[in-house]
Amino acid sequence: MNKATAPDADQRDRFFGGSDRAGKPILRRSLVVRFGCYLTLLVSLALIGMFSALLFADYTHQDAAVINHAGSLRMLTYRVALEPSLEGRQALLGTLGERLDSGDIRRLLQRQDADDPIRQLHQELREGLARLDPRALPGRAVLDAYVGDIDRFVGILQAKAERRSQLLSTVQGLCLFLSLLVVFVTLYDLSYHVIGPLRELTSTARRLGRGELDARVTYSGEDELAQLGERFNQMAGELKSIYGDLEERVEDKTRALSQSHQRLELLYASARRLGENPYDSRTLQPLLNQLEKVLDAGRVTLCLNKDGVERAYSSLTTTERPADFCLQGDCGSCREQASACDQPSSLAQPLLMQPLSIAGHRFGELFIESRSGRLENWQQQLIETFCDNIARTFALSLQQEQESRLALFAERGTIARELHDSLAQSLSYLKIQVSRLGTLLKREAPAEKIE
């Protein structure tokens, strides 16, 4: 018996608040199931009320017909006592028997138990009817006893009808009470588990639409709206993360654009200022300071030398004191200990170098005392472009200087040729004068003529 009832108890416990395999109550997990149960209960209570009313109406109709037939038995009994003729008494007794065994009474008896008082009284009425002799008038005591049995039969029928009416009233009242209770529970559940969460979801969605990315739904539970709120919070978190990533990207792009702007400004300033006076330290020093600020890699030192000369004739750094690596004239050793800018340095104090060279001419080196020993691609490109600008400016200045020298040499040659021609003419003139003087001396001309 216990084994047979255990599964039903488990099912009831799981459905009405117990746990399923996942350990979560079904009614708490699903609003659809819960409100479906409310609707099912309301419909069931309404059907019970209507079915009981229809059933009572049918029983009431049958009871009314039976009570009507039973009431007519008393009148027929008194008519039998008052009927003087034998044929009339026989006809009345036959009618009395037919009324006693009518279809309504038989259907009533079929619904009753075997030991029901109605069956017993009906049987007594039939036996009393059988004892009545139509050939003799029945005595008053016999008629009164028979009529008393009929009255008791009718009274029992009326009592059953009244009890049935009371039962119907009880069922109808219970259904009404349960319906009101289900409606109250439904409205309570609807208010606290549907309307409230939906209002909060709507408000939170509006806040999120206004840009409040920290807006979250506080409603928690195991039903569909709670799961929707959880997914909404997850979506809001992902949206905040996406916005954060976008803001970081915007900041990175802004930073990259700012760096690009600074690099372009540096290259433009270097091209403009170096074109004015490339060998002036007052021109190079601000450019080195700006380069160090843009690179943000370490101290920058610029060593300048003439093409083909190892020793630098000028050294500029971004600090007041000389560079720590400078060997004061031993520039070859500095170049040997430095690494190229596109190669990582393995020294304890990394020193990177970029030569200032173009078309086989070398005008110096740019040293970076890097903190990490490695430069990024944009830093390498900036250094190469900066050094290329300086080298091109120096090469252009050297070319202009050479052209100036060539022009000076050409002008000197022209002047020398003109002087040579002038000297030749002067010598020719002197030669002519000497010849005349010799001729005059041979002729012994007077002194006044010779002068």
Side by side, which strands form the sheet with 339-340?
314-317, 298-304, 361-370, 352-358, 339-340
Amino acid identity, position 261: H
DSSP-derived secondary structure for 125-193: HHHHHHH--TTSPPPHHHHHHHHHHHHHHHHHHHHHHHHHHHHHHHHHHHHHHHHHHHHHHHHHHHIII
75 band by pLDDT with thresholds 50, 70 and 90: low
Burial of residue 282 (number of CB atoms within 10 Å: 0-12, 13-18, 19+) = exposed
Higher pLDDT, 13 or 436: 436
Q: Quick one: which H or E segment has residue 221?
A: none
Give the pLDDT of residue 303: 80
Question: Poorest-confidence range of 96-100, 209-213, 332-336, 354-358?
Answer: 332-336
422 Cα distance to chain centroid: 99
The angle, 0 to 180 degrees and rounded to 10, between the axes of the packed helices 224-276 and 196-209 is 10
How many separate helices (H) and strands (E) can be counted in the chain?
Answer: 13, 5
Copy the structure tokens of residue 357. 């060279």
Contact 63, 55 (CB under 8 A): no
Other CB atoms closer than 10 Å to residue 285's CB: what's the count? Answer: 14
> Which SS3 state, helix, strand or coil, does residue 314 take?
strand
Other CB atoms closer than 10 Å to residue 448's CB: what's the count? Answer: 6
The angle, 0 to 180 degrees and rounded to 10, between the axes of the packed helices 103-110 and 31-82 is 130
- Please write the tens of the pLDDT for every residue from 128-177: 665 665 555 555 566 666 666 676 777 777 777 778 788 888 888 898 89
Higher pLDDT, 367 or 114: 367
What's the predicted TM-score (pTM) here? 0.49
Give the pLDDT of residue 278: 66
Q: Quick one: which H or E segment has residue 323?
A: none
Place of tokens 């008038």: 137
Give the pLDDT of residue 2: 40
How far is the C-alpha of 369 from the C-alpha of 372, rounded, in Å? 9
Contact 302, 369 (CB under 8 A): no
Question: Poorest-confidence range of 27-31, 188-192, 387-391?
Answer: 27-31
Say yes or no to pLDDT of 198 above 80.
Answer: yes
Higher pLDDT, 336 or 228: 228
How far is the C-alpha of 312 from the C-alpha of 331, rounded, in Å? 7
Here the contacts of 99-108 (C-beta below 8 Å, separation 24 or greater) are 99/69, 99/72, 99/73, 100/73, 100/125, 100/126, 100/129, 101/126, 102/69, 104/62, 104/65, 104/66, 104/69, 105/66, 105/69, 105/70, 107/62, 108/62, 108/63, 108/66, 108/157
* Signed CA dihedral, 390, 391, 397, 400: sign only: negative
Contact 15, 34 (CB under 8 A): no
Angle at 274 (CA atoms; ends 271, 276), nearest 5 degrees:
115
How far is the C-alpha of 401 from the C-alpha of 296, rounded, in Å? 36
Give exposure, 184-212, as e/b (b: 16+ Cβ within 10 Å). Answer: eebeebeeebbeebeebbeebeeebeeee
Copy the structure tokens of residue 285. 């020093």
Rounded to the nearest 10°, the torsion over CA 118, 124, 128, 129 is: 50
Copy the structure tokens of residue 126. 């039939």
Give the pLDDT of residue 313: 58
* Signed CA dihedral, 118, 124, 130, 134: sign only: negative
Contact 370, 298 (CB under 8 A): yes
Give the pLDDT of residue 180: 92
Higher pLDDT, 35 or 278: 35
Among 196, 178, 231, 175, which residue's Cα sits nearest to residue 31?
Answer: 196
14 band by pLDDT with thresholds 50, 70 and 90: very low
- Please write the tens of the pLDDT for every residue from 327-385: 555 555 565 555 555 555 444 456 777 787 887 777 788 887 777 767 778 888 888 88
6 band by pLDDT with thresholds 50, 70 and 90: very low
Copy the structure tokens of residue 337. 């200990």
For a pLDDT cut of 70, what percent of the chain falls above it?
60
What is the mean pLDDT of the segment spanning 176-186? Answer: 91
Phi, psi of 314 (to 5 degrees): -150, 140
